[in-house]
Amino acid sequence: MKAKLVGSFKYKNLRYTKNHPLRIPRVSLLLDFLFAMELISEEEVLESREATLEELLLFHEREYIETLIEADRCQCVPDGARERFNIGNYENPVSPAMYRGSSLATGSSIQAAESFLSGVPAFNPAGGMHHAFKNKANGFCFINDPVITLEYLRKKGFERILYIDLDAHHCDGVQEAYYTSPQVFVLSIHQSPEYAFPFKRGFIEEMGEEEGTGYNLNVPLPKGINDSEFLYALQSSLELTLSHFSPQVYLLQLGTDPLTEDPLSKFNLSNVGFLEAFRYVRNTLGEGVYIGGGGYHPVALARGWSLIWCEISGREIPKLINGKARKVLESVDYEEFDDEVDRSYMYNFLTDEPNKGEVRSEVREVLSRVKGLFNAL
């Protein structure tokens, strides 16, 4: 049975404000690129739907959602919304992406879960907005679709769910939602909050509280992580997780910001290293529910998620980018922050050269500390 990519060209008109890091095309660019590369068929695209109010209230407070809806209606900041709900600042600006885009992404994550439960693997690249809190926007995120999808799975009767987050930034909204719960194990591999957002959360010592103690595992890594180090961290932490927790189902967040080209990350992952990480999770756990996440370099994002889609849909990955697809990438209007670096390879080749290397002692030390703390529980 063929896989499904949950997506829509509606996102073209549901964009963040000018100069915002998420202003770039993402889902629509991925679809254009995949069609140009002949790596997807119309039948494999599952048209995205918006989340229902009932679904949004699986996690978020009603007053917060109603304020989001009002802000979307007037495209303004309702009285007190900035102070109470963190809506309307540079980080979380008023825009069509704020409610309509976020609702579409959230409905799509639920669709991915529905498809998975029906026996058809699915990927929602628009998902993974893991920073939003129950009653507050945070870190470019207004609606926490991972938590809502996890709650959807819990309503379906699953009592042991594993959430794995490979985004370069810690999943503080998801962690807070399940910090006292033994039903959802949260595993996050990310840039250390000592130097990266969200700064205040994502440290090793945060292992859960009350009944949730031992069901939260953070792997905060130093700058410059290569393919070998990322896979080492993933393998070590997933093995540790599975020694403590036996999941019935898992949700995998696949933000592309660990890729070396990303302007908001200090990691140096190649897209084949990113793919290798995905393969490791899938080979270890079987099929899961797949959602996107961060990613602020549109060309790197399109290439990285294309590899994930090829893997999910069982396609051989072509090495070269054809002329039609190259024009799609070249048409993207965005600012290249590191314009002194030659990025021409991204327009010619779909796969990067691997960025393997030694696993530094500081990376091994992080995993050693993680294991020590968990084994002491």
pLDDT digits 0-9 by tens, 74-97: 999 999 999 999 999 999 999 999
The active-site residue out of 170, 190, 244, 297 is 170
pTM of the complete model:
0.97
What pLDDT sits at residue 270?
A: 98
pLDDT of residue 116 exceeding 80, the answer is yes
**pLDDT, tens digit, 9 for 90 and up, residues 125-138:** 999 999 999 999 99
Alpha-carbon 317 to chain mean position: 22
pLDDT of residue 1 exceeding 70, the answer is no
What pLDDT sits at residue 115?
A: 98
Q: State the helix-helix crossing angle for 271-285 and 298-313, rounded to 10 degrees.
A: 30
339 or 273: which leads in pLDDT: 273
Q: Tokens 């379906």 appear where?
A: 156
Task: Name the percent of the chain lying above pLDDT 90.
Answer: 95
Phi, psi of 342 (to 5 degrees): -75, 110
Kind and range of the H or E run holding 101: none
C-alpha–C-alpha distance, residues 100 and 124, integer Å:
16
Fold of domain 4-375: Arginase; Chain A (3.40.800)
**DSSP string for residues in 201-261:** S--TT----GGGTTSEEEEEE-SS--HHHHHHHHHHHHHHHHHH---SEEEEE--STTBTT
Average pLDDT over residues 172-193: 98
C-alpha–C-alpha distance, residues 372 and 377, integer Å:
9
List the structure tokens of 342.
Answer: 């030659």
Among 190-204, 276-290, 329-343, which is the least confidently predicted range? Answer: 329-343
Average pLDDT over residues 198-226: 97
**DSSP string for residues in 121-170:** -EEETT---TT-BTTB-BTTBSS-HHHHHHHHHHHTT---EEEEE-SSS-
Phi, psi of 62 (to 5 degrees): -60, -45
Q: Where are the domains of the chain?
A: 4-375
Rama region for 232: left / alpha / beta (φ>0; ψ in -120 to 50; rest)? alpha
DSSP state, residue 118: T
Among 12-16, 109-113, 192-196, 257-261, which is the least confidently predicted range? Answer: 12-16
CA distances for 313 relative to 7, 212, 307, 308, 349, angstroms: 15, 36, 10, 9, 20
What pLDDT sits at residue 341?
A: 85
**pLDDT, tens digit, 9 for 90 and up, residues 235-290:** 999 999 999 999 999 999 999 999 999 999 999 999 999 999 999 999 999 999 99
Rama region for 214: left / alpha / beta (φ>0; ψ in -120 to 50; rest)? left
- Is position 131 annotated as part of the catalytic site? no
What pLDDT sits at residue 340?
A: 82
**DSSP string for residues in 282-293:** HHHH-S-EEE--
Residue at 44: amino acid letter: E
Among 14-23, 108-117, 305-314, 317-326, which is the least confidently predicted range? Answer: 14-23
Average pLDDT over residues 364-376: 95
Q: Give the mean pLDDT of the chain.
A: 96
**DSSP string for residues in 321-371:** PPHHHHHHHHT-----TTTTS--THHHHBSSPPP------HHHHHHHHHHH
